[in-house]
A and B are shown apart, each in its own frame.
Chain A
Amino acid sequence: MNSHHKSVKDIEEEMLQVEAAKKDPEKFSVLYNKYYNQIFTFVYRRTEDEQLTADITSHVFLIALSNLEKFKPKGVPFSAWLFRIAFNGINEYFRNSKKERIVGMEEADLTNMMEDPHISMNKNEDNKLLLKALSELPAESIEFIEMRFFEKRQFGEIADIMGISENNAKTKMYRLLEKLKVIMLKLKK
């Protein structure tokens, strides 16, 4: 289930839960139970290490709970804030450990990327070429593509996780795909 698709009523109800947790940390259990699986899965897809994922996920909720006072509702689900903490936590872990981060995808995801109007390469084109081009992109760009094409997240959700506006996310993505196409054409020569 995509937690980003929530009605205004749902978000308002969630804000009441956040306010209740600010007054009594024990009430944070409602939000913890609601989002634990989603955050765990988000982290696990990037680490493929169960124990590490459990540690990072615990850390995410601990940071969220201890910084709950700083949380300002902006009409987006509480999960967006949790995902952003998780995203930063994962990046921090891989930055410090200097380990490789896994970017999982299906063959079909790569084919879909090839067919995107901003790339519009022949779908019979070798996916290896696309992977080679991807590996030449900076970290932030790969994460962007991962969320959009491999996890199929909406622009609004990606924007919330990365802390930018939705329009900015769209513009960045289009520029990124154009850049990717240039790299692929160069590699093809």
Chain B
Amino acid sequence: MAKYRFKIGSKKDLNEERIAGHKDFKKLMHNYQHLTRPIYKTPLYKTRNAKVLLVLLIIILLAFILSEIK
């Protein structure tokens, strides 16, 4: 539970210009798109990323070797 500190004195809100400095709708849209974007835009097997393809190949090879050992 949060602890509370009571503070008596004139309440100081930030002025509008200062608040406006933090206002950034483009950043909000960027974060929103990042949040709602699918993890993979293209299926893994269709990717052109060499590293991903290499990992996939190794997994397939390992699976094949393990099945042969049995």
A115 within 8 A of B: no
B39 within 8 A of A: no
Query: Chain A: how many interface residues by the 8 Å CB criterion?
Result: 41
**Given known contacts A40-B14, A41-B13, A41-B14, is B22 in contact with A101 (CB within 8 Å)?**
no
Which residues of the other chain, B, contact A95 by a CB distance below 8 angstroms? 1-2
CA distance A53 to B14 in the complex (A): 11
Interface of B is mostly: mixed
Q: Does A40 contact B22, Cβ atoms closer than 8 Å? A: yes
A99 within 8 A of B: yes
Q: Does B3 contact A104, Cβ atoms closer than 8 Å? A: no
A154 within 8 A of B: no
A-B CB pair tally, cutoff 8 Å: 92
Interface of A is mostly: helix
Which residues of the other chain, A, contact B3 by a CB distance below 8 angstroms? 98-101
CA distance A33 to B24 in the complex (A): 9
Which residues of the other chain, A, contact B10 by a CB distance below 8 angstroms? 106
Which A residues are closer than 8 A to B by beta carbons?
25-26, 28-29, 32-33, 36-37, 40-41, 44-45, 50, 53-54, 57-58, 61-62, 65-66, 91, 94-95, 98-107, 110, 127, 131, 134-135, 139, 142
